[in-house]
Amino acid sequence: PAKSSSSSDKTGGGSKQITLGFSQVGSESGWRAANTQSVKEAAKAAGINLKFSDAQQKQENQISAIRSYIAQKVDVISFSPVVVTGWDTVLKEAKAAGIPVILTDRSVETSDPSLYVTLVGSDFEIEGERAAHMLEKVLAGHTGPVKIAQLEGTTGAAPAIERAKGFAKIMKASHPEWSIIASQTGDFTRAGGKQVMAAFLQAHSDIDVLFSHNDDMAIGAIQSIQAAGKTPGKDIKIVSVDGVHDGFVAMSKGQINGIVECNPLLGPQLMDAVKTVHAGKGSTLPRWIKTQETDYTADQAAAALPSRKY
Ligand code: AHR
């Protein structure tokens, strides 16, 4: 069962306090930990009563959490969908109950756009394209074929699908010399990255590059690369996505060559959207509220590390 918690039910000031039911994906990565903290802190700062539940990367847990928020008649529901498909039924239940839904971080596939008000989160396809451009920088001066191993995020999750798509798009358009020789999910976890990279290394002695869909899997993979007697960042160049603290530490040691930032600090933008929706002004919001992100190469890591916020 999903782990749940709730902040105080006290009403703040004269007007009725807004209650937000939030279903988090899980606690699979450093990114997710920062995102959870941002949501909790922003709810507190905005005076919003947050009901929070961790689905432990299971869609059925998210569906039961959403159903329980509907039963509790919360004012607004928000969730970060673990995968893109399979949400229409529960979203229709929320709509029938008159509870607006705001997606955060990840998107869903639906034929009915009225089932959610807006998405607060990153453009993952662009992140995949940025990762390919980062690899161009990392490989500057290199000639000849480049053999790439890809550690994918959770199968069926928007960031896994879109990052792979964006990367493949640039590869197809500009890099006939690049090829993806191995690609498998590591479920966005360190343990997954470690295990899958070990299998990649057993099957392929000639991997030049690792493209990891997040820092945690890259950090796990670094352990397997070292165990195989190779030097991460040198024998195998690594590009990953997120920009969490431990990713920056690995980058400052030269083990990761470049990171495409994905900003997890979505809490403040989410709470602003919750207030707007609760005030009946959801139609004034854009369908997609995007976040600000930057790219970093290894030579920038040490200087950037002290000011990283997550
Ligand atoms: O949906 C965002 C992704 O989910 C992050 O890039 C990854 O670290 C997390 O698990």
Ligand 1 contacts CB of residue 106 (under 6 A): yes
The span from the first CA to the last CA of the chain, in angstroms, equals 28
Could you tell me the pTM of the whole model?
0.95
Q: What is the mean pLDDT of residues 79-83?
A: 98
For 159-205, the pLDDT digits (tens) are: 999 999 999 999 999 999 999 999 999 999 999 999 999 999 999 99
Nearest-angstrom CA–CA distance, 180 and 191? 22
For 130-158, the pLDDT digits (tens) are: 999 999 999 999 999 999 999 999 999 99
Q: Which residue from 202, 270, 211 is spatially nearest to 236, judged by alpha carbons?
A: 211
State the angle between helix axes of 158-174 and 124-138 in degrees (0 to 180), rounded to the nearest 10: 50
Contact present, 309 and 266 (Cβ < 8 Å)? no
Ligand 1 contacts CB of residue 188 (under 6 A): yes
Lookup: tokens for 303: 């200087």
Q: How far is the CA of 29 from the centre of ligand 1 (A)?
A: 7
Concatenate the DSSP letters of all residues of 223-255 into one string: HHHHHTT--BTTTBEEEEEE--HHHHHHHHTTS
Q: What is the mean pLDDT of residues 111-129?
A: 97
Residue 275 burial by Cβ neighbours in a 10 Å radius (0-12, 13-18, 19+): middle
Q: What is the mean pLDDT of residues 282-301?
A: 95
Q: Whose CA is nearest to atom 3 of ligand 1?
A: 159
For 214-261, the pLDDT digits (tens) are: 999 999 999 999 999 999 999 999 999 999 999 999 999 999 999 999
Ligand 1 contacts CB of residue 127 (under 6 A): no
Q: How far is the CA of 161 from the centre of ligand 1 (A)?
A: 12
Is the pLDDT at 115 greater than 70, yes or no? yes
Please report which confidence band the pLDDT of residue 292 belongs to, taking 50, 70 and 90 as the band edges: confident
Q: How far is the CA of 170 from the centre of ligand 1 (A)?
A: 21
**Share above pLDDT 90 across residues of the chain, in percent, rounded to a whole number:** 94
Amino acid at 126: I
Q: How far is the CA of 159 from the centre of ligand 1 (A)?
A: 7
The atom of ligand 1 lying closest to the CA of 31 is 8
Q: How far is the CA of 168 from the centre of ligand 1 (A)?
A: 19
- The predicted structure's pLDDT at residue 9: 42
Nearest-angstrom CA–CA distance, 62 and 1? 10
- The predicted structure's pLDDT at residue 108: 97
3-state SS assignment for residue 204: coil
Nearest-angstrom CA–CA distance, 127 and 48? 31
Q: How far is the CA of 22 from the centre of ligand 1 (A)?
A: 17
Q: What are the φ and ψ backbone dihedral angles of 6, each rounded to 5 degrees?
A: -140, 140
State whether the Cα torsion 5-8-11-13 is positive or negative.
Answer: negative
State whether the Cα torsion 251-212-224-33 is positive or negative.
Answer: positive
Is the pLDDT at 87 greater than 70, yes or no? yes
Lowest mean pLDDT among 186-190, 207-211, 285-289, 305-309: 305-309
Q: How far is the CA of 97 from the centre of ligand 1 (A)?
A: 30
Please report which confidence band the pLDDT of residue 15 belongs to, taking 50, 70 and 90 as the band edges: confident
- The predicted structure's pLDDT at residue 107: 97
Please report which confidence band the pLDDT of residue 278 belongs to, taking 50, 70 and 90 as the band edges: very high
**Share above pLDDT 70 across residues of the chain, in percent, rounded to a whole number:** 95
Ligand 1 contacts CB of residue 29 (under 6 A): yes
Ligand 1 contacts CB of residue 28 (under 6 A): yes
Nearest-angstrom CA–CA distance, 132 and 263? 18
- The predicted structure's pLDDT at residue 14: 52
Where are the strands (E) in the chain, listed by range? 3-6, 19-24, 49-54, 76-79, 101-104, 118-120, 146-152, 178-185, 209-212, 237-242, 258-261, 288-289, 295-297
Amino acid at 253: K
Where are the strands (E) in 8-164, listed by range? 19-24, 49-54, 76-79, 101-104, 118-120, 146-152
Q: Which residue from 244, 197, 252 is spatially nearest to 222, judged by alpha carbons?
A: 197
Output the average pLDDT for the chain.
95
Q: How far is the CA of 214 from the centre of ligand 1 (A)?
A: 7
Strand partners, 22: 52, 78
Contact present, 245 and 251 (Cβ < 8 Å)? no
For 43-61, the pLDDT digits (tens) are: 999 999 999 999 999 999 9
Q: Which residue from 132, 139, 146 is spatially nearest to 181, judged by alpha carbons?
A: 146
The atom of ligand 1 lying closest to the CA of 215 is 8
Is the pLDDT at 10 greater than 60, yes or no? no
* Most ligand 1 atoms within 8 A of CB, residue of 242, 259, 265, 290 to mutate: 242
